[in-house]
Structure 1
């Protein structure tokens, strides 16, 4: 009996295990098809996903479904943009709902590593508007079974989100979001709770206003949810921004097209330290040891309707009194921090926002700094009333703020700037209606940081502000061994700073020595010698219009040592145009007219070059282009001149993309010595004429063009001793050559072996009835090919 029961039990248990293993495979096709159907019915985008996995064992009696490697890629005008990518989405479905007609009941959702980009263009187009207009189902085509949310568990891990609204100027990013939310959404009234929703890095800005910058977030909250009425009420909750704790009260009501919000919030503590933690430079630097004093008051509200056309009213008030902080290991402190902030909007549209900071001041190691700001109509026509005044001795920064090892600061920055008026006054050139004045002085500044091998020194810089322009009567800096002095003016600086308008200006720049690498990229300090730094793309700004009249006594650019560089550089719309730029290099001189542009996906050049007396060996050694286009240059000694035009795309290392290279020119050389050219050496061996082995060339003149992956050389004459050779052909960019040389040689110059070869050819022709009389001059057609 016992054995029989045991046998039956074993059979039943085995059957259950087999069913648990096999059932997922039986339903996998159906569920996969349903997933695809749901996506196709709803999404106007390219959707990709990897494997679909099903299991009954993990959450029995629920079916576990996981979908991996999900990507949603937009269509025009966002073609190629990834709207969302998810490493894995896992769902738990009620097993029995798979057999019914009432829909599939989802019990839990887990989302792993979602990355979402929400973008709005200047014209208002959004990349998330991808939902199709789904027609009403016909009786012949009933609607697909719906998914019913009976959630008890929702989790996100390692989530990243970017919201970039270029129409309103709002930007937000969320880095490393982790959240677990629990509740029973199958009930009409339930409590939704989270105890561990965290964000490592939160950034929010509106135009030039930075609300949060890399702030950490930690949320614990309970929300009473009336799902029948869609009313959500805050209960116990605490939101922590870095060290600043906040509490929320109020409700959110979800209506058909609106969200009705009535929320207030306030800081749970009144300590200045908590507010100071929102400053990234302070929070990330030994914040735990920071000693602080001072009072904080912070509160705000959001009240009203939010939809596509309206925003709710909102307000934020911040007040700091007698704040101070000090690092215990440092001798000085920051004292007398006073701050009042009031941000208000009556609701309706963002342009009604008023930002008022009537007072901000502090004293840092004895250096007083104060500022104020009032901003209205920030979207349509920013109206500002702002000032900043302060004097900072940079050598004292290390007394109140811990600098990185290897960092040193010295010098004085003295600012007193004021501006008042509307942006439209600047745009319409109504400068008499816009008040702006002040001066910024920088003297004896020396900055040394560990990421640079060379110190940056600004000996003297002076800027004078007016509504029309910022005048710079004096500027002198050194970057390592490089020096640069300049004077000039910058026009429309306020329009550039406040609404990203075109910035224009004109400058006179001078330098006795400048190494461009020290400007392009900071060279890390090294004890051991390093390989020369490879050139890299220099992006030309598109929203500036500058004219630079430059005079550089000596300029290092890559491996080129340039002297007496003079000329005009105009920068506009992503293009740097060179006008009559003259310089000495490679034993000669170079004149350039043309442009360097980074408007396209790849940098491009369009140059006219006037080369005068370049040393051939130096040109071959310094320019890869010469090595590709004229490989014979490695066998030549002497100087050459050329006039040419060229157009080409450039690589990331600023070398020409040879397949795109086109142009033409003329080259001349008064005297060249060419030796040990393999083809000419073979010709010398065949003819026994040593003049082909080592060529002495005078008055060379040739025309050439490069296109279609090669350099075509038009026929030209080359005098070789008492002979004249006519040469033409092509050099291909893959280093192969194809040339023909026709040369007439006096027979008297042939060696004995060569004459014997000619006599044998004449005798063979006579034996066949041909009467050939060798002349005194012999024509040779020499084909030169290969690599």
Structure 2
């Protein structure tokens, strides 16, 4: 071995031996001078304590902090002067180990390089008046100025360790409660000119992180494990803390925090970020008032989340929260439904209006670029917001474009079924949220349908190639550019409901839809479903809205009313054709009111008012009508002879004017119910003829066998009838014709009960055809022999004979 190496090893061994001897000597010194050293430690620590400091015992621990001298303090207790009142001990440590700088100890001072605290409890308490037990550490600045040497003994801590330490910060005035169970906290510190730096490992159980204890705790009962870097800048008074990552439960987070100690009270700002975080896990990290809202929803896949939490350790307000979230192609579960392929960028803050206090009432959730598929309907909301978590209000712009048939999943065959066509929705909405469901939305914007085929169930109506636009303007509903096609019928419509949005939820029975309807051709048989009672589910009484949009729509369609102002160029019903039809119709709970109906038909015109009342098996109608100069044969033919079998269009020709005030029944198929008509009929015939009418020809065979009663010309006839089901009461009338004159009265039975009296002069009216004087004709009318005949039914057969009852 070279001499230089031998010398070097001897020197090194001597130095090690020297250090060992020094440490052993110091340890022996402490052991034999325990009282003196304990007093030195007490005196040094007491300089920063304004209260009670108790150290139960002290002994050296050989080589633990080599080359420093290590002291183990047991049963260390620190209390402020007000302990007897508030009962909160600042520090109660069963074991507190201190490593002291050896050289400083020889100089008679204590320089602590390492503190290790085990099995301890730290309780930082502030009462409602603002008094804190941390006042035990307050210094007397005057003493420091008068005796500067005291400030020269300040300790620079190099290392620190905490094991099994309960830490609590309980601020009753600021309503803050932080409580941690420290399993392991160990790190070291350095002191550059700017302040200090620290690296440490943290393993704690977060029992409470209540920035406002009135709201509850963030990160409650979660384990936090991570490695931190921290630093303090004396010039700015800021402490910076960083962890990459900090595991909270099973989720890793990047943490950056700033504490501004230069301000009183200390301000803080904490930034938290996670690339992949499950919705449920994110909600469980927040205060209960926020988590309560969030847990009603769920996202199946992890999302990217950031959170900024800032505030002050003083006062009693909530911290400022600003949370962002981002996801693509996720599945969002909401109360009562699911949104597939969900995409959005979300923002939550409790400072929606900057001038208002932080809190739930001033909170907002914004969903930017929200898109997805709801009940097979694709949609997009540019920016949707939920304002005020106490009384939530949802706002946003809703857009969607989809095949109209996709609505069937939403309607569930309760209202209508769509085939073909497209739908386009562009709505701005504002709505209350009740039990986390959209309730009573107020909307502005438009819904457009193009070329859709619709089966409208309440009226059994099938519409083809239907297009229409629904516009919400302020509180009104405007329906425009509506084109309906059912079979050969084409209907063009525009409608309006005033105050629609106010009535839709609270008073649907007051909704009145005003329609302007035009049609080049309308076949009533294709709309015969309107005669049947509406197919509806039972409506809910009261004004409370169920929150189900389809239930409410069905309710409105059932209870609302409509007035229709119609103009139809050509109106068809079975054999009936009318032109230039004008009508006002009003739907009611049980039927339709007909007002000011006018039309042209069979060479004349008809005006009508009335009402149709719908029933389960039969629809009842009441009609007042005025008929002017219609072709009587065509008129009877068009209306299937009004249910008559013995008196039909084949028996008539001429022009009919009439007034009718009748009631009756009509089936769901649009046919007159037999024996249902009642009322009064006043008619006038001009230039008419009675052809092959059996009651007259029957009488003719008996009384006038040599006259042609099969073709009776009637220049004019005024008649008045009362209709009673299957019987027509013929009020006394004068029948004057080219073949026969007669006075007629009695009852004509459509099925049975005919009993008609006829007073017939035997004089042939053709002999008086040259006379034009009405008075002379009337005088001659009953000149000569008059026979009195009775036509009546007996035993199911018609009998014609002399009227023995005539007086």
- Which category of TM-score, normalised to the shorter sequence, fits these structures? 0.3 to 0.5
> Which of structures 1 and 2 has the bigger CA Rg?
2
